[in-house]
Every structure is written in structure tokens, then in C-alpha cells.
Amino acid sequence: MIEEGRALFLQIAENIENTIVDGSLAEESRAPSTNELAAFYRVNPATAAKGLTVLADKGLLTKKRGIGMFVTAGAREKLRAERRAVFAERYVEPLMVEAATIGLNAGEVIAMVKDRATSVGAQA
């Protein structure tokens, strides 16, 4: 679960983001506390708190004094939009560059994607 070479607080923040995106941590629900995260990941509470602060700074969590941190309304869609942009940059742009290199147009690429999606059982 913890990956060597990456800051632990960033991994904690990313794992919480994943739970928001997949819906297991619902909007307006309480996020895990610093102590809960520290115990789960076996890290210093300051490290866990730093991960929560990253999410609060991004507007994904809000603090309710004396109660804890809560997932902000709209956080899931915000993360999904962010990840779509990263997906386009990381995968779609290089795909289209290679497609142009080998003489495929966008329509042909779309047809190939739909064909592959059908063959692996994904929605096209």
C-alpha cells in the first residue's frame, strides 16, 4: 500500500482521493482523523495531518471545528475532472500523436477503441 520513494503524506492524500472518487468516502461525510490515519498507515500523526492538509488546501476537505474533517460537496466531481485532464494528457495526446504518425485519423482511432472495448467487455 505504501510505495517507497514517494512522500508518505502524498500517498495518504492520494489514497483518500481514491476513496472519494470511487464513492466509498461520500461527500459531506467525515474523513478519517489524523490519529486513525496514523494508526492505519503506521506513520507519525504529523505525516497523516500533512496529507489531510493537502486535501484541505485543494478544497476537497473542510474542517468542522471540534468534529473533524469532512469531504466537501462537489469533491468527487472535482477529482474526476482533474483525473480526466490527466488521462487526456498522459494517454490520449500520445495516442493521437502516434495515430497521426501512422496515418490514422480521429475517427479511425475511435473505431479502434470501440472495437477493443467491445472485445474486452468494456462499455464503448
Closest CA to 81 of 20, 40, 31: 20
The verdict on residue 79 lying in a domain is no
Reading the block at residue 78, the C-alpha cell is 472535482
Q: 102 lies in which domain range?
A: 86-122
Q: Is residue 78 part of a domain?
A: no
pLDDT in tens, 63-120: 999 999 999 999 999 999 999 999 999 999 999 999 999 999 999 999 999 999 888 7
In a domain, 41, yes or no: yes
Residue 12 has pLDDT above 70, yes or no: yes
Instruction: Taking residues 11-22, report their average pLDDT.
Output: 98
Q: 20, 37, 10: which is closest to 73 by C-alpha?
A: 20
Tell me the per-residue pLDDT of 53-70, one tens digit each, with 9 for 90 and over. 999 999 999 999 999 999
Per-residue pLDDT, 84:
97
* Phi, psi for 113 (deg, rounded to 5): -65, -45
Residue 2 lies in a domain: no
Q: Note the pLDDT of residue 3.
A: 79
Residue 118, pLDDT score? 86
State the pTM of this model. 0.81
- In whole angstroms, give the CA distance from residue 43 to residue 77: 29
Tally of domains in the chain: 2
Beta carbons of 8 and 22 less than 8 angstroms apart:
no
Say whether both 65 and 14 belong to one domain.
Answer: yes
70, 29 in Cβ contact below 8 A? yes
